[in-house]
Amino acid sequence: MSKLDLMLFEEEYKLLQEIIGRLSKDASAKVVFLVDKNGQQIAAAGDVKSIDATSLASLTAGNVAATDGLAKLIGEKEFSLLFHEGEKDNLHISIVGKRGILVVIFDQNSSLALVRLRVKKASKELQEIFDQVELRAQKELDPGSRFESPFSEITDEDIDRLFGD
């Protein structure tokens, strides 16, 4: 697995946001979240305020990780799709590339078939952006790279301040 830090810039973030915004509308979903496999939320669209997004991201990643473990136990590479059916709301979870998880929450205004269809299209587009992000991250590791991290000058005082000292 990749140990590179995940760095998202304005432009990529906007593209990701645009894709999941469109997915949310096209699939008639309530909310769509894009999270990374380590449990961090990347982007969200729809009625985002109705849900504790941070907990959702962490539990989704835990769920996917546990299901990955199960897949390996029975000799599968991964289960690329998880579906949880509730009384009113349903949860559609799918893997995007190596590090993304797409979560779609929908009710009776949509259907599993529609969600699956729209997710498939959006996943391809998201994958392309993730590939770009990865490519750029690798370029920046290059010693000749001109990228300068704003964190190259973190001091002990900065860290003390975080803890209110």
Partner 1 sequence: MTFINYASREINCKIVYYGPGLCGKTTNIQWIYEQANPEKRGKLVSLATETDRTLFFDFLPLDMGTIKGFKVRFHLYTVPGQVFYDASRKLILRGCDGIIFVADSQRARMEANIESIANLATNLRENGFDIRTIPYVLQFNKRDMPSAASMPDLERLLRFRNEPMVEAVANQGIGVIDTLKAAARQILMELQRS
Q: What residues make contact with partner 1 under the rule CB under 8 A? A: 1-10, 12-14, 36-40, 42, 52, 54-55, 58-59, 62, 65-66, 68-69, 149-154, 156, 158-159, 161-164
CA 152 from chain centre, in angstroms, equals 27
Residues whose CB falls within 8 Å of the CB of residue 45, separated by 6 or more in sequence, listed in order: 17, 20, 21, 23, 24, 31, 32
- Closest contact distance (angstroms) between CB of 64 and partner 1 is 9
Please, which residue, 114 or 137, has the CB nearer to partner 1? 137
State the minimum distance, in angstroms, from the CB of residue 97 to partner 1.
15
Tokens of residue 78, six digits: 């991964």
Q: Give the nearer residue to partner 1 in terms of CB position, either 14 or 25.
A: 14
Min. distance of Cβ 4 from partner 1 in angstroms?
7
Q: Compute the residue count for the chain.
A: 165
CA–CA separation, 159 and 40 (whole Å): 22
Radius of gyration of the chain measured on its C-alpha atoms: 18
Q: How far is the CB of 125 from partner 1 (least distance, A)?
A: 18
